[in-house]
Amino acid sequence: EALKRSEEDYVPRRVLRSRSNSSASVNSLDLNESDKQFVPRTPRSRRNTMSTPKKLTSTPKTPKSTLKQLRDGTITPSMQSRSTMIPKDSTPLMKARTQLHVSYVPNSLPCREKEYQDIYCFLKGKLEDGYGGCMYISGVPGTGKTATVTSVIDRLKTERKLPKFDYVNVNGMRLTEPRQAYVEIWKQLTDKTIPWEQAQNLLEQRFTKKKHHTPVVMLIDELDILCTKRQDVVYNLLDWPTKSNDQLIVITIANTMDLPERLLMSRVTSRLGLTRLTFQAYTHKQLMEIVTKRLTGTESFNPDAVQLVARKVASVSGDARRALDICRRAAEIAENENQHQQVSIAHINQALNAMITQPQVMAIRRCSRLQKLLLQAVVAEIERTGVEETTFSDVFRMLVSCCALDGLKMVSSVVAQRALSQLSACRLIITDQKCRDVYQKIILNVSVHDVYFALKKEQQ
């Protein structure tokens, strides 16, 4: 019987075989009848079920067709909207906060008149002349590069005398791969999503063949991300303006001033040209002007407070985003305190302390006693040898003597190692992850002074 059962288990395969062979034995046919429920599972029968007319139940939009429509640009992605209305800003502080938000673009950009004019003249000249060209804009983050360029383009769009142009905006950071730039450009020109090879071919045809389309102004943000080893994407983007009879004006933006010389190949640099513009970091006066222009209509900020923020930020980076963030944080703090309707210097100080803090000292103070002792031992070892890098065995020896000095009972090296790994997890020290034995290398990640400061304050 057991044999029979095992034979029954094999039935479906046998059935198939027997079907394919025209001569079927009686036995197998019998089995087939008894086990009919197995039959639909075979691949062949599955195909049969698929081909049966099922149109009545099928929905009109299969996922595939939705994807296709998306790629063709017939449907656009939409976001779910809120069910409730956003309340309007009631207090002056709230109004100030919304106006201070980084995404709130003001009508005019203060302190960037010269650069604005430079870009405007360049673009206008190119559009009037009917030739393509390139421009390279550099500057540290938060100095208004992209904002200036977009506002110039917005203005050029409204001018009637100039020919109409298409505007393409590519950001290197938004692309998964440099070559996806082709897809993005093509998508913005025609609303269609196609693979990058096809997009490259089509773009090449559009920009190099002699046909007259509308001129295109292309803004390429974060140029350094698009640089690969071959640099083919950057080369092509900068080569099209020189070849095309159609107009293509490329404006490239990056942070590094000497990027063309440092990173790009000589032939790419040659095509990029010498039309360059550098956005300098904002000075404290300019930052003050920016913040006060944002705050027009609200009396919620003390002028001295604004000046403090401007000076603090200008001394470090000159980043306008940072200044606005600090102001917003200060407004939030003032709002929480309720009785104040004006942001004072105290609030600003609080916000500055929150944003520019030194968490290491606090972290060291909150360490366990063993961890503190370990840190002390590391510092002592560094002082003794004068070399920054120490090994665990040396530190442990130092730890033993430290403990003896304080009259504490010594732990085993395993426990010490555990404490060490905890310290390295919160990045107070850096350890070699590869070898975890006594020869593990240890580097202090905070300055020696910070350790002394943290431990001394506590003892007093």
Partner 1 sequence: MIRVTRSSRRKEELQRAKLEINSNENSTDKNTNLNGESEIPNNHQKSSKPPRSRRPAKSKSSSDIQLLSPVTPPKQRKSNGSENHNAEVSVTPSSLFKRLSLKSPLKKSAVSARASLFNSKQKVENTEQNQEITKGSGSIPEEAKIYSQYQNARKALHSNFPTELPGRENEIKELRNFILGHLENGSSGSIYVSGPPGTGKTASLNSIVQHSDISSKVQQIYINCTAIKSATAVYSRLIRELNIKSHGKSEKDNLLIVEKYLQKKHKMLLIVLDEIDQLETKNHSILYTIFEWPSKPNSRLILVGIANALDLTDRTLPRLQARCELKPNLLHFAPYTKEQIVKIFTSRLESAGVLNVFTPIALQMLAGKVASISGDVRRALDIGRRVIEFIDQNDNVDVLKSVENFTNELTENQAPKTEQDAKPKTVNLKEVVSVLNNVYGTTQNLNDDTEETFPLQQKIVICSLLLMLKKAKNKDITIGKLHEVYSRICRKQNLMAVDQAEFSGLCSLIETRGIIRVTGRKEPRMHKVSLEWNDTEVAEALKDKQLMSVILQDETCLGKI
Nearer to partner 1, 15 or 272 (CB): 272
CB 123 within 8 A of CB 217: yes
Q: How many CA atoms lie within 13 A of 421 on its CB side?
A: 11
Q: Is the Cβ of residue 25 or residue 447 nearer to partner 1 in the bound state? A: 447
Q: Which residues inside 168-197 make contact with partner 1, applying CB under 8 A? A: 197
Site for partner 1 in 220-239 (CB under 8 A): 230-232, 235-236, 239
What is the token pair recorded at 281?
């970091």
CB of 126 to partner 1, least distance (A): 9
Least distance CB 74 / partner 1 (angstroms): 5
Q: Residue 301 has what DSSP assignment?
A: B
Which range of residues in 3-11, 240-248, 324-332, 366-374 is near partner 1 by CB under 8 A? 240-248
Q: E strand or H helix at 442, and its extent?
A: strand 441-444
Partners of 248 in beta bridges: 216
By beta-carbon proximity to partner 1, the closer residue of 15 and 189 is 189
CB of 318 to partner 1, least distance (A): 5
3-state secondary structure of 171: strand
- CB of 315 vs partner 1, minimal distance in Å: 4
Q: Who contacts 192 (Cβ-Cβ below 8 Å, separation ≥6)?
A: 71, 72, 73, 186
Span interacting with partner 1, options 28-36, 72-80, 364-372, 409-417, rule CB under 8 A: 72-80
Query: Any contact of residue 60 with partner 1 (CB under 8 A)?
Result: yes
101 binds partner 1 (CB under 8 A): no
SS3 content of the chain, % helix, strand, coil (to 5): 55, 10, 35
Cβ proximity to partner 1: between 45 and 280 the closer is 280
Measured in whole angstroms, the distance separating CA 179 from the mean position of its chain's CA atoms is: 18
Residues 9-48 close enough to bind partner 1 by CB under 8 A: none
**Closest to partner 1 by CB, 40 or 125:** 125
- What does the radius of gyration of the chain's CA atoms come to, in whole angstroms? 34
In sign, the C-alpha dihedral spanning 194, 195, 200, 205 is: negative
- Contacts of partner 1 in 280-319 (CB under 8 A): 280-283, 314-318
What distance in Å separates the CA atoms of residue 167 and residue 414, rounded to the nearest whole number? 64
Tell me: does residue 357 bind partner 1 (CB under 8 A).
yes
Q: Which of 22, 305, 250 is nearest to 137 (CA)?
A: 250
Question: Does the protein bind partner 1 through residue 157 (CB under 8 A)?
Answer: no
User: Is residue 453 near partner 1 by the rule CB under 8 A?
Assistant: no
Q: Which of residues 19 and 267 has its CB atom nearest to partner 1 in the complex?
A: 267
